Copies of this chain bind each other. A is one copy, B any other.
Amino acid sequence: MIGGTVGEVVESRNDKYAVGDKVVGFGGWQLYSTATGKGDVTKVDTTHIPLSAYLGSVGMPGMTAWYGLMKICEPKAGETVCVDAASGAVGSVVGQLAKLKGMHVVGIAGGPDKCAYVRDELGFDECIDYKAFPEPADFYAALKAVTPRGIDCHFENVGGSIMDAVLLRMNAFGRIALCGMISGYNGVPIPMAAPQLILQSRLKIQGFIVSEHMNLWPEGLGELGGLVATGKLKFRESIADGLASAPQAFFDLLKGKNFGKQLVKLV
């Protein structure tokens, strides 16, 4: 896995890149990398957008949120959207974009701090701390309480029992953007309890990988960049210090210990 990176040009033999230019690309897990300048790095403007945001809200995670919400969920003002891993790099963008589209936004996150952030700083209408409801029936009751009109769109990052509960709340003709199923990434089976709900509620579920839709990146990143530059799209980062800290940061990510986009700072 080649790490996505942001950095600064320190030497250049290419007229289009000057020393000091800020760039985003796949530089890998190293302090210095050589770029061909033929599409492998992109110069970015840090006048109004912090450099690190190009790895988050104005980068791949932001585009993931934008694509899934706009192209699969097809948001409509007044509808209810749900997103889990709501304080994360993707979920936080999903919810804020959905609010800007006039939706009723319900987040699901792990722990009271993350939920407070999602509600109070990001402006979601509701947030459920799933850790407070270890029993599926209790989690479902909590979800039902904050979705009195059901759920029209769902952006799935987690899968497993959370997705099972959401499926029970989906309205007819609901759309689910299947972006991640982190609850199964440790190899534990995560069967879907009642797939017949897809039929009964005439749902559309669609999996996607945003890097397969590069043609839409200019449109999406344009919208996201404008929102970050004007302060309408907030984000948070967890920064691990030094390459040696990367493995532990990865383990922590899988356990949800990070808060917002997990970055590793090399220098």
Contacts and interface: CB of A to CB of B under 8 A. Distances in A.
Copies in the complex: 2
A192 B192 CA distance: 5
A248 interface: no
Contacts of A202: 206-209, 212
A184 interface: yes
A222 interface: no
Contact of A204 (B180, B195, B206): B206
B207 A178 contact: no
A201 interface: yes
A176 to B, nearest CB: 9
A10 interface: no
Interface residues of A, number: 28
A40 B203 CA distance: 29
B196 A184 contact: yes
A123 B71 CA distance: 38
A33 to B, nearest CB: 29
Nearest to A181: B196
A180 B163 contact: no
Given A204-B204, A204-B205, A206-B204, A189 B193 contact: yes
Interface string A222-240: 0000000000000000000
Given A159-B196, A191-B191, A198-B207, 15 more contacts: A178-B199, A180-B199, A181-B195, A181-B199, A190-B196, A191-B193, A195-B195, A198-B205, A199-B207, A202-B207, A202-B212, A204-B204, A204-B205, A204-B207, A205-B205
